[in-house]
Amino acid sequence: MGVSRSLGEYAGTGDTGALRRGFGHYVRTGYGGAGTAARRMGGTAATAGSLGGALSGLAGGQTSAQGAPLDPSVLTGSSASQIMDAVVDAVRPVDGTQDAEASRAAIRDALSELLTRFPDANLVNLTPDEREFAVESYTAHDVFNRFDLDVGQTIREKAPSATTALARLKQAREYVKETVAASFRKLKAAGHTLTASRITQVVQQALRDTFDVFEGYAE
């Protein structure tokens, strides 16, 4: 299988060309093409919309049901870590599936990355730029987490050591993040902005563009 061969080569040598070919085969043979891959990851776009809505609601002072994860009275005095956990629970509740756990991890990673990029950010009152970054970051992390669930084991098994495997996976994650970010920039330049009512649609298009890029590397 092309994806296993390419990712095995990447795991052993660190060759980024092999990594790109691995992503290409992953999309082309694993999903049957970019269009199908984007459709099958429709849940990522829907969750991105929910995340954007939750963060926008917090910033706008919209109240959640009493006792709900994002109830202001519950969040009062909470640490950044506790607020992140509350957002994760509100946006992607536990349902026992691997997809849910991967998405929950992606939301948490995106919010952590947000606080690294914007150290002064207030999670309950994020600016539009900060919310946009969170949505983009979540999308990239969720795409990578799905890739890791599907074929990441090949990299772990074929790398010469556990330390090298972690480094290879980190590099793969960075490649996904760069590709997803470029797709969002392209859409923004064309006038497709992440307004609250259009987050799901814009993310769906960004996923399609991202998978088109990946598929282009298949031999």
pTM of the complete model beyond 0.75: yes
For residue 146, name the pLDDT band (cuts at 50, 70, 90).
very high
Domain that holds residue 54: 2-215
Q: Per-residue pLDDT tens for 183-213?
A: 999 999 999 988 888 999 999 999 999 999 9
**What would the mean pLDDT of 99-109 be, rounded to a whole number?**
96
Query: Which tens digit of pLDDT belongs to each residue from 59-69?
Result: 887 766 656 78
* pLDDT tier, 72 (very low <50, low <70, confident <90, very high otherwise): confident
Instruction: Please check the confidence at residue 121 and state whether its pLDDT lies above 80.
Output: yes
- The residue ranking higher by pLDDT, 31 or 71, is 31
Domains identified in the chain, total number: 1
- 61 vs 153, higher pLDDT: 153
pLDDT band at 89 (very low <50, low <70, confident <90, very high): very high
Percent of the chain with pLDDT over 70: 97
Burial of residue 187 (CB within 10 Å: 0-12, 13-18, 19+) is middle
pLDDT band at 142 (very low <50, low <70, confident <90, very high): very high
